[in-house]
Structure 1
């Protein structure tokens, strides 16, 4: 059974194709966990992927656009992104989130 100390996982740009997130990711065969950081004004462009994703805000606030709705998500709140539904985010201040996402073929954020 693998164990991880998140601080030992290298921090990297998570999905540079559409996001400015810096983070540390642990990727299993079916699920990926990460703590991601964004600066105010950064975020993720509108995109979609074939797996669900939950983003839980630890600190900061982000504007979320999903399913035609725009909402503000702050500390202690989470956003659920359904499979294949376009969604995006914009940070209203420096923000740190937990991201939990399904993976395909053992690969998560890096192919999204």
Structure 2
């Protein structure tokens, strides 16, 4: 388990030791390194899966590791592939759909407390 203090992961986190949770149909997530002001998550999408349009008060950057996605942010849409990214401003509608199975990294500021409440145990 990566949590050592409430809302903070260990300094070094090995992905193989972090549980993977299902967060939607065809979508799984690992909550990796985090502290009060920053959080890193890895997500895997099966082809055709959809991250519904939503908004939250966090700043977010999504980086495409593998696969092909259609991202929407603030009414604009763009196809993204490995090496591409999107910056999501707080309280702005955004979502993503998977064209070709792949993975992405999501970085949030501040930490997503809601993920910790349903994901990892806190010590």
Contact 1:101/1:108 (<8 A) preserved: no
The Cα shift of 1:110 comes to 5.4
Q: Which runs of 5+ in 1 are unaligned?
A: none
Aligned residue number for residue 15 of structure 2: 6
Alignment of 1:1-112 (within 5 A): 2-14=11-23, 16=24, 20-26=26-32, 27-103=34-110, 107=113, 109=115
User: TM-score, structure 2 length as denominator?
Assistant: 0.77
Rg (Cα) greater in structure: 2
Aligned equivalents of 1:5, 1:43: Cα separation in 2: 28
Aligned equivalents of 1:45, 1:24: Cα separation in 2: 18
Number of positions where the alignment pairs a residue of Structure 1 with one of Structure 2: 107
> Could you say if the C-alpha distance between residues 108 and 100 of structure 1 is closer, same or farther in structure 2, counting changes exceeding 3 Å?
farther
- Partner SS, residue 7 of structure 1: helix
The Cα shift of 1:30 comes to 1.6
- Partner SS, residue 77 of structure 2: strand
Aligned equivalents of 2:45, 2:56: Cα separation in 1: 20
The Cα shift of 1:53 comes to 0.7
The Cα shift of 1:38 comes to 0.4
Q: Which runs of 5+ in 2 are unaligned?
A: 1-9, 118-123
**RMSD, aligned α-carbons:** 2.0
- Partner SS, residue 16 of structure 2: helix
- Partner SS, residue 41 of structure 2: strand
Moved over 4 A (4+): none
- Partner SS, residue 40 of structure 1: coil
Contact 1:51/1:103 (<8 A) preserved: yes
